[in-house]
Amino acid sequence: MARPRNDRFLRALLREPVDYTPLWLMRQAGRYLPEYCETRKRAGSFLALCKSPQLACEVTLQPLARYDLDAAILFSDILTVPDAMGLGLYFAEGEGPKFERPLREEWEIRNLAVPDPNVELRYVIDAVAEIRRALDGSVPLIGFSGSPYTLACYMIEGGASDDFRRIKTMLYSRPDLLHHVLDVTAQAVTAYLNAQIEAGAQAVQIFDTWGGSLSHAAYREFSLAYMTKIIAGLKRSHDGERIPVIVFTKGGGLWLEDIAASGCDAVGLDWSIDIGQARARVGSKVALQGNLDPSVLFGGSEVVAREARRVLDSFGPGSGHVFNLGHGISQFTPPEAVTALVETVHAASRAAHRPESKG
The verdict on whether 27 is a catalytic residue reads yes
**Contact criterion met (CB below 8 Å) for 230 and 272:** no
Asked if 319 contacts 15 with a C-beta cutoff of 8 angstroms, the reply is yes
Mapped onto helix, strand or coil, the DSSP state of residue 51 is coil
Out of 8, 15, 27, 132, pick the active-site residue.
Answer: 27
SS3 322: strand
Q: CA-CA distances (angstroms) from residue 201 to 197, 250, 340? A: 4, 23, 28
Give 238-290 as a 3 state SS string. Answer: ECCEECCEEEEECCCHHHHHHHHCCCCCEEECCCCCCHHHHHHHHCCCCEEEE
Question: Considering 40, 67, 70, 149, which one is annotated as catalytic?
Answer: 40
Closest to 56 (Cα-Cα) out of 80, 75, 41: 75
Residue 207 φ/ψ, nearest 5 degrees: -90, 110
How far is Cα 323 from Cα 258, in angstroms, rounded to an integer? 22
Active-site choice (7, 70, 77, 265): 77
Give me the catalytic one of 31, 122, 166, 220. 31
219 catalytic residue (yes or no): no
- The answer to whether residue 154 is catalytic is yes
Active site annotation includes 40: yes
d(CA 165, CA 171): 10
Radius of gyration of the chain (CA): 19
Nearest Cα neighbor of 32 from 299, 323, 329 is: 329
**Which positions ≥6 away from 313 have C-beta within 8 Å?**
none
Q: Kindly report the number of other CB atoms within 10 A of residue 211's CB atom.
A: 28
- Asked if 165 is an active-site residue, the reply is no
- Catalytic-labelled residue, pool 20, 154, 192, 226: 154
CA-to-CA distance for 304 and 234, rounded, in angstroms? 37
Backbone angles phi, psi at 23, to 5 degrees: -145, 135
* Whether the bond into 6 is cis, omega within 30 of 0: no
The residues annotated with a catalytic role in the active site are 27, 31, 40, 77, 154
